[in-house]
Amino acid sequence: MLWLRADEGLASAGRREAAALARRLGLADSRAADLALAVTEAAANLLRHADDGALALRIAAFGDQSAVELLALDSGPGIPDVGAVLRDGSSAAGTPGGGLGAIRRVADFFALHTLPGRGTCLYARFTAQPAGMAEPGSAAQLSGLTRPISGETQCGDTWAVREEPVAEGAAHLLVMMCDGLGHGPLAARAADEARTAFRTSRATEPAAILADIHAGLKGTRGAAVAVARVDPPARRVSLCGVGNIAAFVLGAQSRQALTSTPGIVGHNIGRPQTFSAALPPGDALVLHSDGLNSRWQPAQFPGLTGQTPAVIAAQLLWQAGTRRDDAGVVVVKAPR
């Protein structure tokens, strides 16, 4: 993920990075122009109305499709009447949210979550083959986001996912959240090793996968790691974590924590325990590092669970982020 802080050069820097991603993805010229328009409108909106904000851009995979994802996150007044700004398909007007209707018009997928007095999260997706994006694959039900502490380009927080086929029914999802100790290149190296160990582990239970990651992190500075296994048909999640990774089952008005045990993966993991919880349809499993303040409450985020996982992850990262550490969050939504 490429993060651009809102300042005077935001629109031009955003367009430059968007153009590079569009080339990498092979977007047609007309779609690249649509993406540039979206970046321009989002940047204008941030600079005019937000107290603080950022654009984030990346290429993400959705099944066998890939898309450029654009996030615009801000601390600001929020948008008083979302319906009105989205009906207005015109370019940036004088009110918060002006120009967002234009972004919705050109994006293949668009989502917006706004908190009055606190800020707005905008998410838009641009794909090479729009027709294929209509298929709601399992990939669309999961998204993660990391942001390095300011001043660093490498991030010690990372997430990963793999599917675990089962004999009958829907595959289980295995999800990892890792916070490499400290920040900078050495934290990023621990994160890389954790991702590799997670991907190459042949274990299928969270505790056994965590043991493989522990072995893989020997010789690094270590990390906090949690591994979750989501079983969609059974509507359950089990999780094994060591160190400070927060894990919650998030409902519209509820938040149930899944605890981790103390230790440092790669050094000393003690005796990890696996905890299990119900994951009702429409609820979300949220794992995040201590770069987010874990005291956030669902009541502070009305309507968030109804959003797509990328918006849930982004809004939590922005609104609960401490800015004093690398931040990472991954969200899995249980199918309805």
> x/- contact string, 297-336, with Mn ion (CB under 5 A)?
----------------------------x-----------
Quote the least distance from Cβ 191 to Mn ion, whole Å: 11
Strands (E) in 186-326, as ranges, are 223-231, 236-242, 246-250, 255-257, 274-278, 284-288
Report in angstroms how near the CB of residue 294 gets to Mn ion at its nearest.
Answer: 12
What is the C-alpha to C-alpha distance for residues 17 and 57, in angstroms, rounded to an integer?
Answer: 8
CB of 53 to Mn ion, least distance (A): 23
176-215 positions binding Mn ion, by CB under 5 A: 179
Answer positive or negative: Cα dihedral of 18, 19, 25, 31.
positive
What is the smallest separation between the CB atom of 244 and Mn ion, expressed in angstroms?
7
Please give the structure tokens belonging to residue 105: 């018009």
264 binds Mn ion (CB under 5 A): no
Range 26-65, binding Mn ion (CB under 5 A): none
Of 272 and 328, CB closest to Mn ion: 328
| Least distance from Mn ion to the Cβ atom of residue 264, Å | 12
Closer residue to Mn ion (CB): 69 or 290: 290
- CB atoms under 10 Å from CB of 201, counted, come to 20
Tokens 């010690």 found at: 156
- Report residue 270 as tokens: 């003690």
Size of the site for Mn ion (CB under 5 A): 4
CB of 326 to Mn ion, least distance (A): 6
Give the integer Cα–Cα distance in Å for 236 and 268.
29
Q: Which residue's CB is nearer to Mn ion, number 74 or number 290? A: 290
Task: Select 218 or 324, whichever has its Cβ closest to Mn ion.
Answer: 324
Stretch binding Mn ion (CB under 5 A), from 15-23, 262-270, 288-296, 306-314: 288-296
**CB nearer Mn ion, residue 175 or residue 225:** 225
**For residues 151-180, which are near Mn ion according to CB under 5 A?**
179
Q: Which residues touch 95 (CB under 8 Å, ≥6 apart)?
A: 49, 85
> Rounded CA gap, 198 and 330, in Å?
15
Nearer residue to Mn ion within complex by CB, 140 or 245: 245
Q: Which residues contact 316 (CB under 8 A, 6 or more apart)?
A: 286, 288, 292, 296, 301, 304, 329, 331
Considering the complex, what minimum distance in angstroms separates the CB of residue 227 from Mn ion?
17
Half-sphere exposure of 156 (CA within 13 A, CB side): 25
Which of 41, 74, 283, 290 lies at the binding interface for Mn ion (CB under 5 A)? Answer: 290
- At its nearest, how many Å lie between Mn ion and the CB of residue 14? 28
| Nearer to Mn ion among residue 146 and residue 308 (C-beta) | 146
- How many whole angstroms from its chain centre is CA 110? 15
Q: Which one, 69 or 325, has the nearer CB to Mn ion? A: 325
3-state percent breakdown (helix, strand, coil) of the chain, nearest 5? 30, 35, 35
Distance, CA of 111 to CA of 32 (rounded, Å):
19
Q: Which is nearer to Mn ion, 74 or 325 (CB)?
A: 325
- End-to-end, the C-alpha distance of the chain in Å comes to 29
The three-class DSSP label of residue 269 is coil
Q: Report, in Å, the least distance between residue 66 CB and Mn ion.
A: 30
- Residue 321 has, within 13 A of its CA and on its CB side, a CA count of 25
Footprint of Mn ion (CB under 5 A): 179, 289-290, 325
